[in-house]
């Protein structure tokens, strides 16, 4: 289903209610944070009351979303996962929206099934009255197909295969159309606020949200997405994608295999079944690394209701331990091996397609693996994370400092940073924090959401997990690929170019000094002082650069004059010297 082919009328009453609510929120923000926040007498009170004000606004939005349903629920669920950009008081208030969606009465569900598939009794032996889950756009019910028949036409059982029926909510197209039109207006209002307008194209992000939302309403597209995931993991016994029943699937009704099992967040349930949650966390990261960095196609809604863990084989803990006669069992008994399992995905309506970003994302992965701050800054720039005119050299220094600070730490440590370290970094890079030269790039709205939700799931399964192990593991895999080798060659070439530019920059500096055009001003500005420090470091690199250039030229001349082995040795010495210089500079 697409927005162009579906043009239901807008519910004006609903439209007005949404715009009025967000208009009030925007007015409150302007009055308190922009106007009163600049008045010295009341500034302190405004700051103290900010947390409670945000919490009240979030509570009001949650109540609005629950009463209206539709896109408001979806928006609230989306915002609740953005712990990376929204205050904790906001995300805490909204995170319960997943469980607060009121269900559609069964008679309306039966009517929807009848309209799409005909009489339910001709396809299903039983449909449960209570829904399994009620979501913003539809809801699911457990059901059983009609049983198979023997040669005489008699049913071989009381009911057939266990399935799940997913049915859209009544009039959902009108609801989605109305909500999106209202939110488009709100997006244009938000762009009037310059600090946001400079850093995010809110209407463009809104359109990305809208496109994915309309795709969620096309259940046949969801079935196609599931088929692609099933092919993707066909040879991975640790991933389970449910089968769909094509003859019982339409654009508004889906019938799929019932694969429900232990919820991904039920750590106690996994442990009781003999499954190690830490291994589940490792597998979940591995599966998502593949989706993002290899396939550029990922499940964009990894909330706990869409992921299960299915035990395989017998429970090792229940196995009988044979003890040799006359031998103490305490000496011979060994703990059972962890039980094998599958990670089960459901709900393929929201998927991310990032083919255009794959090469740049892999560049980020390689840069982090090699702890190469310069290449990491380049990759971020190519992805569109920086505003025009951003001080990339300063950002590069901040990246290097941050990598050194957080490398090797587990998720628990990363989620609870040392306040003294935060204060130290804030003081060192307060110029960047003041200028804040960052922006939200388009096409990252769902990737950022999925990564944020994934991080939360993994930390519940294993707070001590070391994400850097997985980053290095996958980064090395990328480096060994042809694309990775080319990327490494590009990085080395750029490193030589950076060194080659230093003599020319130094000569320009000396010429200016000799001609009397060099002006030196004593400025107390922190940013200017750091720029002078960087210039001093570049001057100190001159001897190393000249020596590296001499070795490189010597090797080339030897090679061209037939001394092939000596040429290779000189080139090797050049590379070794350059990398040693880089290592010394970083240290």
The full set of domain ranges for the chain reads 12-100+173-213, 105-169+218-258, 353-484, 485-586
Secondary structure of residue 519 in the 3-state scheme: coil
Best CA proximity match to 413, nearest among 466, 456, 458, 377: 466
Bridge partners of residue 309, in order along the sequence: 262, 343
b (16+ CB within 10 A) / e for 540-560: ebeebbeebbebbebbeebbe
Mutual angle of helices 373-383 and 482-514, in 10-degree steps: 100
Tokens (6 digits) for 17:
């209610």
Q: Tell me if 77 sits within 8 A of 303, measured CB to CB.
A: yes
Per-residue confidence (pLDDT) for residue 244, from 0 to 100: 95
User: Using one digit for the tens of pLDDT, what is the confidence trace for 194-226?
Assistant: 888 887 888 988 888 898 889 999 999 999 999
Please count the other Cβ atoms lying within 10 Å of the Cβ belonging to residue 186. 19
Using CA atoms, how far apart are residues 25 and 132, in angstroms rounded to an integer? 35
296: left (phi over 0), alpha (psi -120 to 50) or beta: left
Using CA atoms, how far apart are residues 135 and 120, in angstroms rounded to an integer? 22
Please count the other Cβ atoms lying within 10 Å of the Cβ belonging to residue 148. 10
Which residues of the chain have a pLDDT value below 70?
A: 1-8, 81-86, 98-100, 150, 152-153, 156, 317-335, 411, 415, 442, 481-587
Burial of residue 388 (number of CB atoms within 10 Å: 0-12, 13-18, 19+):
exposed
Tokens (6 digits) for 2:
């697409």
Using CA atoms, how far apart are residues 132 and 99, in angstroms rounded to an integer? 11
Which distant-in-sequence residues (6+ apart) come within 8 Å of 9 by Cβ? 174, 177
β-pairing, 307-311 vs 133-134, is unpaired
Which distant-in-sequence residues (6+ apart) come within 8 Å of 377 by Cβ? 392, 395, 396, 399
β-pairing, 262-263 vs 341-345, is unpaired
Name the phi and psi angles at 561, rounded to 5. -95, 15
Could you tell me which CATH number the domain at 105-169+218-258 has? 3.30.200
Using CA atoms, how far apart are residues 225 and 175, in angstroms rounded to an integer? 24
Please calculate the CA angle 353-355-356 and round it to the nearest 5 degrees: 115
Per-residue confidence (pLDDT) for residue 563, from 0 to 100: 54
Using CA atoms, how far apart are residues 378 and 399, in angstroms rounded to an integer? 11
CA of 309: how far to CAs of 103, 233, 317, in Å?
Answer: 26, 16, 18
Best CA proximity match to 93, nearest among 104, 74, 107, 79: 79
Name the phi and psi angles at 180, rounded to 5. -65, -40
Using CA atoms, how far apart are residues 157 and 141, in angstroms rounded to an integer? 21
Per-residue confidence (pLDDT) for residue 70, from 0 to 100: 85
User: Using one digit for the tens of pLDDT, what is the confidence trace for 342-378?
Assistant: 999 999 999 999 998 888 898 888 888 888 899 899 9
Bridge partners of residue 440, in order along the sequence: 200
β-pairing, 162-168 vs 253-257, is antiparallel
Longest dimension (CA), the chain: 107
Please count the other Cβ atoms lying within 10 Å of the Cβ belonging to residue 420. 8
Per-residue confidence (pLDDT) for residue 97, from 0 to 100: 74
Tokens (6 digits) for 357:
């970003």
């Amino acid at each position: 289903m697409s927005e162009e082919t579906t043009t239901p009328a807008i519910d004006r009453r609903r439209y007005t209610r949404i715009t009025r609510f967000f208009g009030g929120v925007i007015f409150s923000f302007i009055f308190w944070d922009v106007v009163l926040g600049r008045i010295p007498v009341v500034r302190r009170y405004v700051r103290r009351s900010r947390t409670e004000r945000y919490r009240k606004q979030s509570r009001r939005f949650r109540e609005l979303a629950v009463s209206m349903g539709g896109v408001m629920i979806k928006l609230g669920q989306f915002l609740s996962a953005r712990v990376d950009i929204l205050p904790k008081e906001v995300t805490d208030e909204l995170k319960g929206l997943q469980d607060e969606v009121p269900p559609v009465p069964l008679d309306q569900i039966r009517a929807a099934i009848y309209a799409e598939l005909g009489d339910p009794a001709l396809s299903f032996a039983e449909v449960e009255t209570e829904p399994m889950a009620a979501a913003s756009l539809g809801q699911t019910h457990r059901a059983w197909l009609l049983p198979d028949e023997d040669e005489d036409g008699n049913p071989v059982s009381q009911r057939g295969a266990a399935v799940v029926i997913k049915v859209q909510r009544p009039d959902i197209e009108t609801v989605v159309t109305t909500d999106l039109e209202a939110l488009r207006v709100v997006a244009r209002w938000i762009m009037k606020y310059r600090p946001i307008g400079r850093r995010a194209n809110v209407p463009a992000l809104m359109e990305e949200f809208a496109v994915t939302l309309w795709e969620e309403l096309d259940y046949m597209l969801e079935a196609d997405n599931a088929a692609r995931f099933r092919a993707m993991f066909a040879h991975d016994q640790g991933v389970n994608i449910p089968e769909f029943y094509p003859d019982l699937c339409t654009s508004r009704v889906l019938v799929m295999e019932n694969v429900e099992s232990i919820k991904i967040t039920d750590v106690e349930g996994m442990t009781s079944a003999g499954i190690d949650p830490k291994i589940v966390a490792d597998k979940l990261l591995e599966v998502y690394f593949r989706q993002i960095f290899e396939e550029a196609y990922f499940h964009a809604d990894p909330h706990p209701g869409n992921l299960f863990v299915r035990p395989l084989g017998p429970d090792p803990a229940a196995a009988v331990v044979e003890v040799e006669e006359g031998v103490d069992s305490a000496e011979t008994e060994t703990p059972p091996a962890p039980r094998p399992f599958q990670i089960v995905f459901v709900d393929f309506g929201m998927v991310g397609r990032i083919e255009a970003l794959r090469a740049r994302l892999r560049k980020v992965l390689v840069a982090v693996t090699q702890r190469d701050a310069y290449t990491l800054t380049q990759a971020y720039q190519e992805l569109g994370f920086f505003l025009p005119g951003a001080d990339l050299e300063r950002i590069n220094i901040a990246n290097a400092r941050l990598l050194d600070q957080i490398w090797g730490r587990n998720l628990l440590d990363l989620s609870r940073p040392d306040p003294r370290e935060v204060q130290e970094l804030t003081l060192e890079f307060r110029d960047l924090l003041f200028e804040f030269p960052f922006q939200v790039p388009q096409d990252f709205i769902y990737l950022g959401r999925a990564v944020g939700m994934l991080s939360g799931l993994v930390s519940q399964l294993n707070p001590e997990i070391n994400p850097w192990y997985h980053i290095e593991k996958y980064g090395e895999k990328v480096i060994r690929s042809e694309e990775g080798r080319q990327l490494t060659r590009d990085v080395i070439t750029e490193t030589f170019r950076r060194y080659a530019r230093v003599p020319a920059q130094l000569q320009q500096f000396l010429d200016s000094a000799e001609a009397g055009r060099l002006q030196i001003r004593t400025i107390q500005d922190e940013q200017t002082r750091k720029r002078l420090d960087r210039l001093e470091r570049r001057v100190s690199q001159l001897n190393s650069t000249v020596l590296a250039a001499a070795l490189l030229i010597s090797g080339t001349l030897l090679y061209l004059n037939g001394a092939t082995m000596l040429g290779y040795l000189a080139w090797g010495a050049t590379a070794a010297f350059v990398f040693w210089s880089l290592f010394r500079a970083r240290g």
